[in-house]
Amino acid sequence: MGRTALPVMRRLGPMGHPARLTVAGFAAITLVGAVLLTLPIASETGDWTGPVTALFTATSAVCVTGLVVVDTATYWSPFGEAVVLGLIQIGGLGIMTAASLLGLLVARRMGLRMQLVAQAETKTLRLGETRRVVVGVVAMSAVVELVTAAALTGRRLADTAESFGQAVYFGVFHAISAYNNAGFALHEDSLVRHAGDAWIVVPVTAAFIVGGIGFPVVFELGRALGARVRGARIPGWSLHTKITVLTYAGLLLTGIVLVTASEWANPATLGPMSLPGKLLAGAFQGATPRTAGFNTVDVGAMHPTTLLVNDALMFIGGGSAGTAGGIKVTTFALLAFVISAEVRGQPTVHVMGRRLAAAVQRQAITVALLGVAAVLVATLILLRLSQLPLDAVLFEVVSAFGTVGLSTGITADLPAAGHLLLIVMMFIGRVGPITLASALALREHERRYELPEERPIVG
C-alpha cells in the first residue's frame, strides 16, 4: 500500500483516512442519539433526561454493548425505545459494513480511491465490491432478524396473553438486539424469566452467534453451502474463515463447559434448576460472553471463578467484521500461533498451509496489548472512583471494552465520572480494534535502510 496511497490520503485531508472517518461517523451518530434521548418525549415520565444518562445509553446502543444506567423498559417511552433500537441497528450495520470495507481495503481488493473514501458515487471498475458488501450485510441482517423475530413472536403468542402487536414488538426488539449483540432487553432481569424456555433462548443464541462470527465468514460459509446444494465444486475456505470458525467454536465450547461446571451447584444461579434447565442456562451463559450481553441467571451472584472466565471470554470477543466486540478471535488465535512457533524454535509462523506475514503478527500483538492497557488503566481509575471490589469492577470494565453488556449490577450505582469512563471504554472497544488494525496495515511501508541488529536479553 505504502507510497502509492500516501498522496491520495494527503489530498483527502486529515479526516480522509478510512479509520478516522469510521470513528467520526460513530461519534456523530452517538451524539445525535444522545440529544434525542434527552428530550422529554423520550422518557416515560415526560421529563428531560440528564446528559450523562442519555449519552451513556446512546453510546451503549450505538456500540451494541447493552450496559444501562436506567431500565430500558420502565424508563424510556416508546419513542425512547425506538431511538435505542434504531441506534442498535445503525451501530450493528455500520460496524459490519465499515469493518468489511476496511478489510477489503487492507486486502487491496478494490480500487484505491474507492478504498480510501468508500463512496457509492465513485465509478471505478471494482465498484461492485462495495455494493456487494453493503447489500450482503443488509440482506444477511434482515433475514436473520426476521427469522428470529418470527420465532420469538410465535412463542410469545403461544405462551402469554399478550396482544399480537405486543408480541411482535417483543420479537422484533429482541431479534435486533440479539443479532447485533447489543444485549438490550425489555425486562429488568434481561432473560432470566425465560431461562428454561428453549423457544426463547435458542433463537436468541443463534442470532447473536451468526451476528458475532462476522459477515466475511457467514458469506463464505453461505457460498460453500450454495455450491453444495447446486452440486457444484465447493470452494475452499480462506485462512481467515478457518481460523475464525475453529477458534470461535473452541472458545464457545470452553466457555459453556467452564461456566456450567462452575455454577452447577451455586444456589443463586444454576443450583435450583432441573437438569435440562441447568444445561440450557449453562450453555447460554457460556455463549453470551461472546459479547451478546443477555443473561438468564443473576450475573452478580456468580462465583468469582465464573466471573474471571467471563472476563477472558469477553476480552477476546467474537469474529472480525461482525457485531461482536473484543480484540477478536482471529487476534487471539494469531497470538497463539506466534507463541507456538516461538516455543518450537521456528523462524516463521506457519498456519494451515500458509505463512503469516510479520506485519500481521505485529498488528495482533499491538491490538491485544493496547486492549490490555486500556482495561488495566480503566480498572485502576474505576477502583479509585467507586471503592468497589476488584472482581466486580474488572468485570464491568471488560464488559464495556468488549461491548458485551453483562453486568454484576454496579453500573447504575457508579458516580457520573465512572459512567463517563465506561462511555469511553465502550467507544474504544467498539471502533478501536478495527480502526487500529486497519490503520496499522495502511501505514505499512518499506524501510529505505536497516540499522545494525542487536539482541537484548529477554526474560
**Across 106-120, 207-221, 223-237, 417-431, least confident range:** 106-120
Q: What is the pLDDT of residues 161-186, one digit of tens each?
A: 889 999 999 999 999 999 999 999 99
Residue 209's pLDDT band, with cuts at 50, 70 and 90, is very high
Q: Give the pLDDT of residue 193.
A: 93
* DSSP β-bridge partners for residue 351: 354
**pLDDT given for residue 137 in this prediction:** 84
> What would the grid cell of residue 81 be?
425505545
Mean pLDDT of the chain: 86
| φ and ψ at residue 354, rounded to 5 degrees | -130, 150
Q: What is the pLDDT of residues 297-307, one digit of tens each?
A: 999 999 999 99
pLDDT (mean) for 390-404: 96
- Phi then psi dihedrals of residue 155, to 5 deg: -65, -40
Q: What is the pLDDT of residue 153?
A: 97
* Residue closest to 183 by CA, chosen among 309, 254, 92, 272: 92
Contact status, residue 122 vs residue 94, Cβ threshold 8 Å: no
**H or E, element range at 355:** strand 354-355
Residue-wise pLDDT tens digits, 78-118: 999 999 999 999 888 887 777 666 666 555 443 443 334 44
Listed residue (177, 127, 63) closest to 427, CA to CA: 63
Evaluate whether 181 touches 92 at the Cβ level (below 8 Å). Answer: yes
Return the pLDDT at 69: 95
CA–CA gap between residue 170 and residue 166 (Å, rounded): 6
pTM of the model: 0.88
| Confidence (pLDDT) at 350 | 93
- Residues 133-152 have pLDDT tens digits of 778 888 899 999 999 999 99
Q: How confident is the model at residue 121 (pLDDT cuts 50, 70, 90)?
A: very low
Is 90 exceeded by the pLDDT of residue 267? yes
Assess contact for 79 and 123: CB atoms under 8 A.
Answer: no
Q: What pLDDT is stored for residue 77 in this prediction?
A: 96
Inter-residue contact 379 to 44 (CB < 8 Å): no
Is the per-residue pLDDT at 132 higher than 90?
no
Residue 26 confidence (pLDDT): 87
Q: Is 43 helix (H, G, I), strand (E, B) or coil?
A: strand
Name the β-bridge partners of 355.
Answer: 350
